[in-house]
């Protein structure tokens, strides 16, 4: 539904170390242990001024999950993280993401050229301008790519209901 696009954002979570911990992920050995991703992608949907939902295909939390709960139980505080694990959040409007994102899946190949994980069964995502620009979305350099790069504090303040 086109009217809903204006209420949705795609969020790439990463950093220069390509090591971002998230908790309550399905791949974790236990709920208390984080999974350290090179990058992670979630979708946010603002349903009203006080309700923001997070859609994360890899979470053990509810699907969707309230932003407040996700921030507390999946993202956690950054107070105890070493600098190399500090997360940044590239927030991109859903419309911009759909217009510009492209991936040929080469980032899923190992050094020997074999798949690190089986690729999805659907075709690669391409745009008229690009076959592969995923690096621009994963980058947390604000001068690269689309959207706005936010710190942990800026991100949570922007989407936590007042």
Which tens digits make up the pLDDT trace of 30-53? 888 999 999 999 999 999 888 999
pLDDT at 109: 87
What strand order describes the sheet that includes 8-14? 65-66, 51-55, 40-48, 8-14, 88-93, 148-151
Domain boundaries of the chain, sorted by first residue:
2-99+134-159
Report, as an integer, the average pLDDT of 44-69.
Answer: 95
Q: Hey, how many other C-beta atoms are within 10 angstroms of the C-beta on 13?
A: 23
Which tens digits make up the pLDDT trace of 76-127? 999 999 999 999 999 999 999 999 999 999 888 888 989 888 888 989 999 9
Report, as an integer, the average pLDDT of 56-61.
Answer: 96
Let me know: does 22 contact 31? Beta carbons within 8 Å: no
Let me know: does 88 contact 15? Beta carbons within 8 Å: yes
pLDDT at 119: 85
Of the chain, the percentage scoring pLDDT greater than 90 comes to: 79
| Residue 1, pLDDT above cutoff 60 | no
Question: Is 2-99+134-159 a CATH 3.40.462.40 domain?
Answer: no
State the residue for tokens 């997360």. Answer: 87
pLDDT at 162: 64
pLDDT at 139: 97
pLDDT at 31: 80
Of the chain, the percentage scoring pLDDT greater than 70 comes to: 98
């Amino acid at each position: 539904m086109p009217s809903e696009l204006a209420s949705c954002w795609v969020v790439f979570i990463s950093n220069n170390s390509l090591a971002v911990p998230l908790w309550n992920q399905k791949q974790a050995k236990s709920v208390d242990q984080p999974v350290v991703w090179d990058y992670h992608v979630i979708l946010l949907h603002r349903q009203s001024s006080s309700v923001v939902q997070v859609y994360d295909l890899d979470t053990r939390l509810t699907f969707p999950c309230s932003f407040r709960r996700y921030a507390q139980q999946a993202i956690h505080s950054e107070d105890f993280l070493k600098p190399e694990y500090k997360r940044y959040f590239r927030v991109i409007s859903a419309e911009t993401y759909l217009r510009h994102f492209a991936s040929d899946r080469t980032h899923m190949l190992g050094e020997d050229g074999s798949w690190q994980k089986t690729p999805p069964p659907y075709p690669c995502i391409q745009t008229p301008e690009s076959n592969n620009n995923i690096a621009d979305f994963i980058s947390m350099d604000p001068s690269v790519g689309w959207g706005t790069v936010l710190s942990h504090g800026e991100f949570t303040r922007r989407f936590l209901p007042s």
